[in-house]
Amino acid sequence: MSLQERLGAALDGVLPIQQEDDGASRIYDWAYGGLPPNNTANVLEPPLRTIFTGIHLAGADLTVDAFRDGLLRAPPAGGGPTEPQVSRGEHGVWPDFDWGGSDDIAFIWWDPTATGEDEVGNAGTGMYRYALDGKRYTLGHMPSSTEDAGIFDVDKSVTVFDQVPEEDRTPDYPPPD
């Protein structure tokens, strides 16, 4: 049995970050001049990004096949601590053709003593910790032990990032007029 099966601690999602720092909220703020009315923008944005990426890369003749081919042409993206790596097709990530999208995982565990806010801003006790500050792993590059994975090492874990890691930051552009 593999390490991730033994631990049951793989997460295929994003790390919690402050609403004003997540990419979706920053884009919303750029477009509308303020934060979204709730913090679900970071959950709703990835499927919309997938749709727009497929349409954009489909080219001038938008068909189902062109949309699919556009998504398959898109290079792998993400892979930083707060952004899972996503790709489709043959990019050398998976041994077989990849229809799924998500390429990597982060190891987590539940800390019943950690305090902070939940997904809707309520303060409480008990939070997930992300091992090794959210380090992500792809197939064939998994750690071989719980120690190597940083599981249960509070000093090398994070519950919420104070700042978005540099590689995951949304670029700054002048807002529209």
More confident residue, 65 or 176: 65
What residue ranges do the domains of the chain occupy? 3-168
Q: Are 137 and 143 in contact (CB under 8 A)?
A: yes
Residue with tokens 């910790």: 129
Strands (E), the chain: 10-11, 86-89, 98-102, 104-117, 123-131, 136-138, 157-158
pTM above 0.85, yes or no: no
Residue 86 has pLDDT above 80, yes or no: yes
Work out the mean pLDDT of the chain and round it to a whole number: 85
**Torsion angle defined by CA atoms of residues 126, 132, 133 and 138, in that order, rounded to the nearest 10 degrees:** -110
Per-residue pLDDT tens for 6-53?
333 333 344 567 777 778 888 888 889 998 887 778 788 889 999 999
